[in-house]
Amino acid sequence: MSQLGRDDMLRAYRQMATIRAFEERLHDEIKTGEIAGFTHLYAGQEAAAVGVCEHLADDDYIVSTHRGHGHCIAKGCDVKAMMKEIYGRADGLCKGKGGSMHIADVSIGMLGANGIVGAGAPLAVGAAISAKLDGKGKVSVAFSGDGACNQGTTFEAMNLAVVLQVPAIFVFENNHYSEHTGVEYSVGTANDIASRAEAFGMKAWRANGCDFFSTFEAMREVLEHVRSGGGPAAIELDTERFYGHFEGDPQRYRGPGELDRIREQRDCLKAFRERVGEYGNVTSDELDAVDSEVAQLIEEAVSEAKSAPPPPPEQVLEDVYVSY
Amino acid sequence: MVVMSIREAINRTIAEEMERDADVIALGEDIVGGMGTAGGPEAIGGIWGATGGLYARFGPGRVIDTPISESAIVGAAAGAALAGKRPIAELMFADFVGVSLDQLWNQMAKFRYMFGGKTRCPAVIRLIYGAGMNAAAQHSQSVYAMMTAIPGLKIALPATPADAKGLLTEAIRGDDPVLFFEHKAMFGVKGEVPEGEHRVPFGHARLTREGGDVTIVTCGRMVGFSEKAADKLAEDGIGCDVIDLRTTSPLDEEAILDSVELTGRLVVVDESPPRCSLAADIAALVAAKAFTALKAPPQMVTAPHTPIPFARELERAWLPSPAKIEAAARAALAFRS
């Protein structure tokens, strides 16, 4: 951990805490009925998004999933503009046209959350083709889960990335559930998705996706491999989903005490506080201060989103080139 | 002006655009042909010949031969376009849109709108389409109507070498995704092509025959069929406007409606089955917006609502023909309410 200074540690914690607070607040706000549509919360997986994205710059690319809020925040999307987007407001990050599943900010390399499971990997390979041509050492990351790892698009994308030797990184966040189905059932290689990537001819890493330091260190090796021209790579992150597939999911598939257990044993924020002591350069008071700042930010984001104006109806015909 | 085939016009346009702009790249199955073989790269040069010579000229970084992975090809084109490139991807047969549909329909078509207009996706997908070569049910379809139904995509179908150059140039330089349909039976069609810069703006139809009695609206290979019918009718003193749409999205409504206002009779010719087709779409447009001008019901000349058969005789029977178009025009003229 020698390369992680105090500021880096605090920044990583702040990113994870922001995602957690964002999602937990949404979990409460959705119950009020004020937020339209489908929302898929990322809470529990924060160490994965942040452990990956802390290595990336604005000109690196990521492609996200339907469970994308965490990736967006980790890549640097404006949190208040994201909240407004989820509330469907005119000055939301996508002007209220995308919503929870389609948040994007291409200007910082965030090429979109995506409502179609498995659709992102081919897009990430395309961005990797662009990155390779540009020759500046940029990389392109496809976030996928144990659901998307069964889609043919993901297989095609992995093969194409290997054939073309482009700087693509396939991040498989294994949260053990594809929608409401267990990974032991749906993934033929059981709890081993990385072996699929290896079978396509790329190097793969495995890390604890509920531990920032585990993910961050493994990603350092992944990035060294890919940025030095070693071709595409994969990393499987063993992680946990604290909420349902979507908000409103009764989660009857969970085992007795399962949610309590994973919150107790696999909470990346708790793990961070425990492990950060090993490095002695950040105190728990400082982390508490971060928590307070984050709480304030989320409070402002929600209250500003609630009072922000909705898009005017005439905008339905804007940002597309054919009216008929 | 230089005389060349549609194949040459497409090949030269891609090369000229790649020369002009380093962000233009090409990708697709066998667009180089021969990769990983004893014959070596360019052993084939693209099965349609439209991409021959590009690899030698621009190299493997920009002329990318891919595995048989249509979703990955279209998806990679969309992703590269988001990341600042101007990719030209080839779907060897338009029928393969089924394999890649999500990337066309849910991804590249929607990015600009769904992301609040803050991004662009300047990808061109070349799709080789159409019947006439006995390629049977899965390699002959004209899926442009299905694609025209998707908001966010532009659809171009050149019928001449000049339009192949002009529309492809426009497609590559534009900032929106374009599906560029090339008819497999028309690659050898020759015609005059302007030298140097030549752009044909989308949404501007071409009037290829002028006459006051019947309006024939069509596109792609059916333009030539319609011209033959019009020429035959002209021998009997019947004048037809033949309108080559060039692009079905955007659609040149004005050209269609202006002509029907004069003739009062519409024949739509469409190389695809009739239900939810381009023919049905144009007929509905005219019925809704030029109803009082109509002297006869709109006539739709389409394929039947069947898959495309293989045998020569059957495929000929399936396709619209100049004779069927002529008969439809005469039926419109003979109509008495």
Identify the residue whose tokens are 């804007």: A318
For residue B54, being part of any structural domain is answered with yes
CB B157 within 8 A of CB B114: no
Both B153 and B117 in a single domain? Answer: yes
Q: Give the model confidence (pLDDT) of B214-232 as tens digits.
A: 999 999 999 999 999 999 9
Nearest to B114 among A94, A107, A129 (CB): A94
Could you say which of B193, B217, B235 is where a domain stops?
Answer: B193
Q: Is residue B201 part of a domain?
A: no
CATH architecture of A6-317: 3-Layer(aba) Sandwich (3.40)
In a domain, B164, yes or no: yes
Q: Are residues B129 and B215 in the same domain?
A: no
Structure confidence by residue, pLDDT tens digits, A164-179: 999 999 999 999 999 9
Residue B234, pLDDT score: 98
Q: Are B50 and B142 part of one and the same domain?
A: yes
Q: What CATH number does the domain containing B300 carry?
A: 3.40.50.920
Predicted confidence band at B45 (pLDDT cuts at 50, 70, 90)?
confident
Say how many CB pairs under 8 Å bridge A and B: 151
Mark yes or no for CB contact B25/A116 under 8 Å. no
Q: Which of B144, B167, B193 is where one domain is finished?
A: B193
Number of domains in chain B: 2
Mean pLDDT of chain B: 97
Nearest CA in chain B to A315: B116
Q: Are residues B35 and B178 in the same domain?
A: yes
**Which carries the bigger pLDDT value, residue A191 or residue B211?**
B211
| Same domain (yes/no): B9, B113 | yes
Are residues B212 and B185 part of one domain? no
Dihedral angle of Cα A315, A319, A320, A324, to the nearest 10 degrees: 30
Question: The tokens of A97 are what?
Answer: 């046209």
Residues of chain A predicted below pLDDT 50: none
- Among A304, A298, A299, A308, residue whose Cα is nearest residue A90: A308
Pairing of strands B24-29, B2-5: unpaired
Position A322 scores a pLDDT of: 67
Measured between CB atoms, which of A112, A129, A156 is closest to B71?
Answer: A156
Q: How many CA atoms lie within 13 A of A288 on its CB side?
A: 3
Query: For B1-30, how does the pLDDT look when each residue is reduced to its tens digit (9 = 90+)?
Result: 999 999 999 999 999 999 999 999 999 999
Query: Does B247 have pLDDT greater than 90?
Result: yes
Indicate if B92 and B132 belong to the same structural domain: yes
ipTM of the complex: 0.93
Q: Do B67 and A163 touch (CB under 8 A)?
A: yes
- The pLDDT of residue B1: 94
Token couple for A259: 């949610």
Contact between B83 and A140 using a beta-carbon 8 Å cutoff: yes
Check whether residue B235 and residue B160 sit in a common domain: no
User: Which residues of chain B does A314 touch, with a Cβ-Cβ cutoff of 8 Å?
Assistant: none
Which of the listed residues B161, B193, B225 is the one where a domain comes to its end? B193
- Expressed as residue numbers, the domain containing B279 is 206-334
* Residues in A touching B74 (Cβ below 8 Å): 122
Give A24→chain B minimum CA distance, Å.
25
Same domain, B108 and B232: no
Sign of CA dihedral A188, A191, A192, A194: positive
CATH code assigned at B38: 3.40.50.970
